[in-house]
């Protein structure tokens, strides 16, 4: 165990902090969580699962993903749309495929929705 490792319990508290401070919690409350079913309907989904492998950075405090947004277009294939990462109760990052740091949660969700719609169009033209 390194000096900068955090426990899952502490990561869950960090998650609550980041969701609240970033105001992403308000915007994600209407986004369904990824269901535990074999067939998932197309749409935008959120995962609040924290990867235990991200809880030890080794040389600094970890910055785990505390909320990850995915698109499901067809055949249960998940496409990454964006994530919220948190660092030691000091900072959070809202990111998407193209933007490493989005300034507000509102802009973040706007980009996620735009990217989702572009995915829908691109998948339709591939048919």
CB 63 within 8 A of CB 56: no
Q: What is the pLDDT of residue 8?
A: 93
Tell me the per-residue pLDDT of 73-116, one tens digit each, with 9 for 90 and over: 887 889 999 999 999 899 999 999 988 889 999 999 999 999 99
Tell me whether residue 19 is exposed, middle or buried, using C-beta atoms within 10 angstroms of its C-beta: 0 to 12, 13 to 18, 19 or more.
Answer: buried
Cite the beta strand spans of the chain per DSSP E: 43-47, 65-72, 78-87, 91-96
Could you tell me the residue ranges of all domains in the chain? 8-126
The tokens of 127 are what? 């048919």
Q: What is the pLDDT of residue 125?
A: 60
Tell me the per-residue pLDDT of 5-20, one tens digit each, with 9 for 90 and over: 889 999 999 999 999 9
Instruction: Say which residue the tokens 């950075």 belong to.
Output: 57
Residues with Cβ < 8 Å from 38, sequence gap 6 or more? 76
């Amino acid at each position: 165990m390194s000096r900068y490792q955090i426990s899952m319990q502490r990561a869950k508290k960090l998650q609550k902090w980041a969701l609240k401070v970033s105001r992403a919690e308000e915007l994600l409350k209407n986004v369904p969580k990824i269901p535990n079913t074999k067939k998932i309907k197309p749409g935008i989904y959120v995962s609040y699962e924290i990867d235990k492998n991200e809880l030890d950075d080794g040389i600094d405090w970890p910055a785990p993903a505390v909320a990850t947004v995915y698109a499901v277009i067809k055949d249960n294939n998940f496409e990454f749309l964006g994530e919220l990462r948190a660092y030691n109760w000091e900072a959070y990052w809202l990111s998407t495929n193209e933007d490493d740091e989005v300034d507000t949660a509102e802009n973040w969700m706007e980009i996620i929705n735009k990217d989702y719609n572009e995915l829908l169009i691109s998948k339709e033209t591939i048919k």
